[in-house]
Amino acid sequence: MNPVTRFAQSRLAWLILTGTALGLELCALFFQHVMKLDPCVMCIYQRLAVFGILGAGLIGLVGYKNRFMRFIAVLGWAISATWGLKLALELVDMQTNPSPFSTCSYLPEFPEWMPLHEWFPAVFMPSGMCTDIPWQMMGVTMGQWMIVAFSAYLLALAIFIIPALSKTR
């Protein structure tokens, strides 16, 4: 087994995926509750996408020796990172091309059977506007940084998907 396959099927690889997603979630909560930056509904949806990556990492962490569990983890990773990138691109478009006809809603549109914004308002209740740009680092907005983050997750997925799903010897 080559080193990339060995790493992709290791507990360490899934721990790194889980740790980076957890780090992003902690940063989001720090921005919201310590720096008092209000998240918009698109930010909340991106937060949910990162939770999806975190969940995929946990599945991979628990089932890294099982090919089917790695498949489920990779599928969750792919769906969450793709959805997150789509959301981040939409948010940046709203911020760079504001339009009174294209706005985001005030409340997230979660399914009735899973109203996360009611169950966990400190994490999932939006309080900001999508067109606001409350924070930048090196001239790059938070939405643009999330494009980088989700793109990095997808690049890592592209590199590791075949080795992660290959048969264990």
* Catalytically annotated residues: 40, 43, 47, 104, 130
Which conformational region is residue 84 in: left (phi greater than 0), alpha (psi within -120 to 50 degrees), or beta?
alpha
Going from the C-alpha of 3 to that of each of 9, 76, 122, 140, the distances in angstroms are 10, 24, 42, 35
Q: Read out DSSP for 9-43?
A: TSHHHHHHHHHHHHHHHHHHHHHHHTS-PPP-HHH
The number of residues making up the chain comes to 169
Q: SS3 of 46, please?
A: helix
